[in-house]
Amino acid sequence: MIDDLWYKNAVFYCLSVGSFMDADGDGCGDFKGLTRRLDYIHGLGITAIWLMPFQPSPGKDDGYDISDYYGVDPRYGTLGDFVEFTHGCHQRGIRVIIDLVVNHTSDQHAWFKDARSARDSRYRDWYVWSDKKPPNANKGMVFPGVQKSTWTHDTTSKSWFFHRFYDFQPDLNTSNPYVQAEILKIMGFWLQLGVSGFRMDAVPFVIATKGPKVNKPTEQYDMLRAFREFLQWRKGDAIILAEANVLPETDMEYFGSDGDRMQMMFNFHVNQNLFYALASGDVRPLAAAMKVTKPRPATAQWGLFLRNHDELDLGRLTEEQRQTVFAKFGPDKDMQLYDRGIRRRLAPMLGGDRRRLELAYSLMYTLPGTPVLRYGDEIAMGDDLTLPERNCARTPMQWSNEPRAGFTKSEKSKNPVIDKGPYGYNHVNVAKQRRDPNSMLNWTERMIRMRKEVPEIGWGDFTIIATRNPAVLAIRYDWRNNSVLFVHNLDEQPREVSFALGLDGKQGDHLINLLTEDHNRADAQGKHHLMLEAYAYRWYRVGGLDYLLRRSDIDSDTDAHPA
């Protein structure tokens, strides 16, 4: 039963084929290269890969501009290579979810070419048109500063088309039943080829009403139920992980109050407040964000992340909070993007400081939800701010200190490899870190192993334990009569805290440290006292006298979770 909802205790790894490993030596990563690296991913303990768009595309938005939903871009290989890859994943017990980008197509898609060819063409109503320039054409841009408008004039059909994103990404008319049927067909196709679901791109825009007269789009939530129903008819354990940066009040609309819509959603609210907490050392807004995103159906799950392939969007923080994060993590203008975010990778944001990196990842592994790592995080890769927009954090994976980081044999690569400075591939690479027992890579592997052995995080209920210290976050999870406790000190100074676990009787007397020998016992009043060094993180299994007696009958290993 507990394995049926596999995403509840999964560890996701997100990667783009083109930046991971080039097997054929043309400078671009491919499925053959990725397949060769599956043992590496498996060795890290990853249980699911999220594959970014790999379908044929002009590549003007890193593949989020698809020109054919039913194929593989020749730069990455063939459909056959894709199936070899999913097969290789299944052999290792790794699931695959892929991006489902159906808010818009590329302007090079055959549907759009047909739609713009004449006003009465077959695919005309698959897109969103206006005879005149709509009055709100200069509003609602997702990429302000780069994107000029949301409506662009098409000279062939002499009308205007709507695009929520760049002008080469015309929005599909998702209210059109034919478009809806096609979306299901796309899902069915990839499910048949072995994927376990989708990371659905830009969900609020997919389900929004669109058109020249729409000033305030409304979400058509029932569409989510239709997607979910189809998905599960075709494949019972398939999921959708929604990209929806929405206000907490609408979370339940996305999950469905009966748990009948999206199984997973990225928790953008926690993400932004987590960065504020890391920047300010004050965990209170993060705790508030956790509480406000707590309600969700039993089968639903949050996806937790630190950085992803886009900018770190700080748009939902207060102005003061946002400025605090900018000042700490992205003070220069060229580190910021779209007036709302930071485009750097995590390691440079945290000054490459191993203590702060471990703290940040420890939080990601232990906050309520399922962690989603980004390729290169495990070796603390850096960024290249000379590259435009979000490309700075999409550089090729650094495998070794061979030329071009062992990523490609070609003289040139799709995105340039980082070859200078402290994050250059000579210093930061997998081969080197593999040999070093204390490397970030080996630390990550150990943390992932332990994270999977604590299913209480994904399945249980959490309680924030009062420590009366704004820099310290203590979270207890309870599930099936087991409890675990995670304590983090976000301050650069050591902190001493005292707290009661709030469990009955002697249940919480012992805190068994899962990562070191530093266990803890409560005082006579049942209070725990901890001395936390700067940026400390502690993972404990909670045990009392009863618990220890019960366990000593079974085995002497107090660390393993009782199955």
For ligand NOJ, the closer CB: 78 or 391: 391
Closest distance of CB 53 from ligand NOJ, Å: 8
CA distance 10 to 3: 10
| Integer Cα distance of 63 and 72 in angstroms | 11
> Between 8 and 394, whose beta carbon lies closer to ligand NOJ?
394
Residues that bind ligand NOJ (rule: CB under 6 A) add up to a total of 9
Q: Where are the alpha helices (DSSP H) in 435-532?
A: 440-452, 456-459
Q: Three-state SS for 151?
A: strand
Give the CA dihedral 496, 286, 51, 47, nearest 10 degrees: 40
Among 310, 358, 383, 509, binds ligand NOJ (CB under 6 A): 310
Residue 230 CB, shortest distance to ligand NOJ, in Å, is: 22
Please state the φ and ψ torsions of residue 303, each to the nearest 5 degrees. Answer: -100, 125
**Per-residue binder mask for ligand NOJ (CB under 6 A), 267-296, x = binder:** ------------------------------
The residue of the chain with the least Cβ separation from ligand NOJ equals 64
Q: What is the enclosing helix (H) or strand (E) of 125?
A: none
Cβ atoms of 428 and 345 within 8 Å: the answer is no
Contact of 267 with 293, CB cutoff 8 Å: yes
What are the DSSP calls for 479-493, one per residue? ETTEEEEEEEE-SSS
Residue 377 is a binding residue for ligand NOJ (CB under 6 A):
no
For residue 201, indicate whether it is catalytic. Answer: yes
Minimal distance in Å, beta carbon 157 to ligand NOJ? 24
As a whole number of angstroms, the distance between CA 429 and CA 434 comes to 9
Distance from C-alpha of 160 to C-alpha of 137, rounded to nearest angstrom: 10
Q: How far is the CB of 4 from ligand NOJ (least distance, A)?
A: 29
> What minimum distance in Å lies between the beta carbon of 13 and ligand NOJ?
16
Taking the complex as a whole, how short is the minimal distance between the CB of residue 243 and ligand NOJ, in angstroms?
A: 6
Distance CA 14, CA 50 (A): 5
CA proximity to 277, closest of 534, 491, 537: 491
Is 305 or 537 the residue whose CB approaches ligand NOJ more closely? 305
Closer of 202 and 428 to ligand NOJ (Cβ): 202
Reading the block at residue 499, the tokens are: 């707290």
First and final C-alpha spacing in the chain: 13
User: For this structure, is 358 an active site residue?
Assistant: no
Q: Is 60 helix (H, G, I), strand (E, B) or coil?
A: coil
Active-site hit among 99, 243, 377, 456: 243
Question: How many angstroms separate the CA atoms of 240 and 146, rounded?
Answer: 30
Binds ligand NOJ (CB under 6 A): choice among 171, 201, 378, 383: 201
Radius of gyration of the chain (CA): 24
- Per CB under 6 A, contacts with ligand NOJ among 45-74 are 61, 64
Q: Which residues contact 465 (CB under 8 A, 6 or more apart)?
A: 474, 475, 476, 485, 499, 500, 501, 502
Kindly state whether residue 311 participates in binding ligand NOJ, applying the rule CB under 6 A: no
Q: How far is the CB of 246 from ligand NOJ (least distance, A)?
A: 14
User: Which of the following is catalytic: 81, 201, 378, 456?
Assistant: 201
Query: Least distance to ligand NOJ from the beta carbon of 310, Å?
Result: 5
> Residue 15 has which token pair?
């990667």
Choice from 202, 231, 277, 347 touching ligand NOJ (CB under 6 A):
202
> DSSP characters for 9-32?
G--EEEE-HHHH--SSSSSS--HH
Contacts with ligand NOJ, 229-248, as mask; x by CB under 6 A: --------------x-----
Cβ partners under 8 Å of residue 556, min gap 6: none
Instruction: Give CA–CA dist 265/199, Å, rounded.
Output: 9
Between 38 and 179, CB nearer to ligand NOJ: 179
Structure tokens at 432: 């080197």
Q: What is the 3-state secondary structure (H, E, C) of 286-313?
A: HHHHHHHCCCCCCCCEEEECCCCCCCEE
Toward ligand NOJ, which CB reaches closer, 101 or 172? 101
Q: Per-residue x/- marks for ligand NOJ, 164-183, CB under 6 A? A: -x------------------
Of 30 and 201, CB closest to ligand NOJ: 201
Tokens 């999206």 -> residue: 262
Residue 101 interacts with ligand NOJ (CB under 6 A)?
yes
Q: Nearest approach, Cβ of 63 to ligand NOJ (angstroms)? A: 9
Query: Binding to ligand NOJ (CB under 6 A): which residues in 106-165?
Result: 165
Q: Tell the burial category of 143 from Cβ atoms under 10 Å away from its Cβ (0-12, 13-18, 19+).
A: middle
CB of 326 to ligand NOJ, least distance (A): 21
Query: For residues 20 and 64, which CB has a smaller minimum distance to ligand NOJ in the complex?
Result: 64
Catalytic residues, by residue number, are 201, 243
Interface with ligand NOJ by CB under 6 A: which residues? 61, 64, 101, 165, 201-202, 243, 309-310
